[in-house]
């Protein structure tokens, strides 16, 4: 019995070490040349890859929600930082823009403290949302179209002194109302819930909230606390996206994937 317990403990320890170890290559190797878009944005670099297909599945679910509830503004957030929220927001919005129905998509960086959309997309950070809310710029002048059809971005802008107050202002509500009339889908990348009030403020003025959870890192208690805080703000929870999930494909399934996606060599994929 002791040997069995020891063996199980060894397996568990190895799994924990594997999860905690930072994987340098978490994306498909295939990459579009001569672009400033980060290679983690697989919906741009390798839209036919298995991991990009997962975003398309979520896209289909959101389209169904829009058809039944007329929901078009989605907030993407997480419990804490570093869970893959921004990469998820970009890939999801870009996947929606690739849909053949030619739906116009807007992605807003509402993390006016540490916004990363501009860095991932290789665009200028300013002017952006902060300048709009401070009446220093019109929304139209901040729109960026990074050479992707139907895909528009409003970056975070220069970090303001009072981001929470700006997000809770009437100006923000009016801005979303105006943008809803111009775009078919709007995705908002917000700061994490646990350390900040910003996503709770935004959750009350959007059509639904998507919570990103990192496998092997985000504790269940943190997720429960996040759900509680969002519920207090009367957020409409739509679902969850789990990142950093390691897939071990059985041989028969591996052959099935290769049949449909070709024989390209893929890096160790962790969605």
DSSP states of 69-100 as a string? H---EEEEEESSTTSSHHHHHHHHHHHHHTST
Q: What is the largest CA-CA distance in the chain?
A: 70
The residue ranges of DSSP E strands in 206-255, in sequence order, are 208-214, 237-243
Mean pLDDT by 10 residues, the chain (271 residues): 65 60 48 79 88 91 85 94 93 92 94 93 94 96 90 96 96 96 96 94 95 89 94 93 68 46 38 34
Q: How far apart are CA 21 and CA 15, in angstroms?
A: 10
- For the record, the structure tokens of 222 come out as 């943190």
Token digits of residue 124: 């200028």
The DSSP H or E segment spanning 121 is helix 117-121
Q: Where are the beta strands (DSSP E) in the chain?
A: 73-78, 105-109, 151-154, 185-189, 208-214, 237-243
Q: How far is CA 68 from CA 19, 62, 72, 75, in A?
A: 38, 10, 11, 18
| Cα-based distances in Å from 30 to 40, 51, 56, 102, 265 | 11, 12, 18, 26, 9
| pLDDT at position 67 | 78
pLDDT score recorded for residue 221: 92
Q: For residue 269, tell me if it sits in a domain.
A: no
Asked whether residue 9 is assigned to any structural domain, the reply reads: no
Domain membership flag for residue 33: yes
Q: Does some domain include residue 79? A: yes
Residue with tokens 């059985």: 250
Show the tokens assigned to 174: 């009016």
Name beta bridge partners: 213: 242
pLDDT of residue 132: 97
pLDDT for position 121: 94
CA distance 163 to 161: 6
The Cα-based distances of 19 to 22, 154, 204, 226, 245 in angstroms read 8, 34, 35, 23, 9
**pLDDT of 207:** 95
pLDDT score recorded for residue 146: 86
Number of residues written out for the chain? 271
Among 165, 191, 188, which residue's Cα sits nearest to residue 111? 191
CATH code, domain carrying 49: 3.40.50.300
d(CA 129, CA 106): 13
First to last CA, the chain: 37
The whole-number pLDDT of residue 66 equals 81
Identify whether 15 is part of a domain. Answer: no
Q: Is residue 138 part of a domain?
A: yes
Please give the tally of structural domains in the chain: 1
Distance, in Å, from the CA atom of 246 to the CA atom of 260, rounded to the nearest integer, reads: 21
Give a yes or no: residue 10 inside a domain.
Answer: no
In-domain check, residue 139: yes
Task: Give the domain extent around 133.
Answer: 25-261
Short-list 43, 178, 56, CA closest to 108: 178
- What pLDDT shows up at residue 206? 96
pLDDT digits (tens, 9 = 90+) for 15-57: 656 555 544 444 444 666 678 888 889 899 888 888 889 999 9
């Amino acid at each position: 019995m002791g040997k069995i317990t020891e063996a199980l403990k060894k397996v568990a320890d190895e799994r924990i070490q594997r999860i905690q170890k930072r994987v340098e290559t978490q994306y498909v190797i295939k990459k579009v040349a001569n672009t400033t878009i980060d290679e983690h944005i697989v919906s741009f670099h390798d839209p036919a890859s298995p991991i990009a297909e997962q975003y398309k599945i979520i896209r289909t679910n959101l389209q169904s929600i829009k058809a039944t509830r007329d929901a078009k503004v989605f907030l993407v957030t997480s419990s804490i930082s570093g869970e893959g929220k921004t990469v998820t927001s970009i890939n999801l919005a870009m996947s929606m823009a690739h849909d053949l129905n030619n739906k116009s998509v807007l992605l807003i960086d509402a993390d006016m403290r540490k916004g990363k959309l501009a860095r991932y997309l290789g665009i200028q950070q300013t002017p952006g949302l902060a300048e709009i809310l401070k009446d220093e710029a019109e929304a139209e002048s901040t729109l960026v179209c990074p050479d992707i059809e139907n895909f528009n971005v409003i970056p975070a802008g220069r970090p303001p002194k009072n981001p929470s107050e700006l997000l809770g202002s009437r100006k923000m509500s009016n801005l979303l109302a105006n943008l809803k009339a111009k775009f078919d889908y709007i995705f908002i990348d917000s700061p994490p819930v646990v350390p900040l009030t910003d996503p709770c403020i935004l959750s009350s003025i959007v059509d639904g909230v998507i919570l990103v959870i990192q496998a092997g890192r985000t504790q269940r208690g943190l997720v429960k606390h996040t759900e509680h805080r969002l519920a207090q703000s009367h957020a409409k929870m739509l679902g969850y996206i789990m990142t950093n999930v390691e897939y071990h494909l059985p041989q028969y399934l591996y052959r099935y994937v290769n049949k449909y996606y070709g024989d390209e060599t893929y890096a160790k994929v962790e969605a």
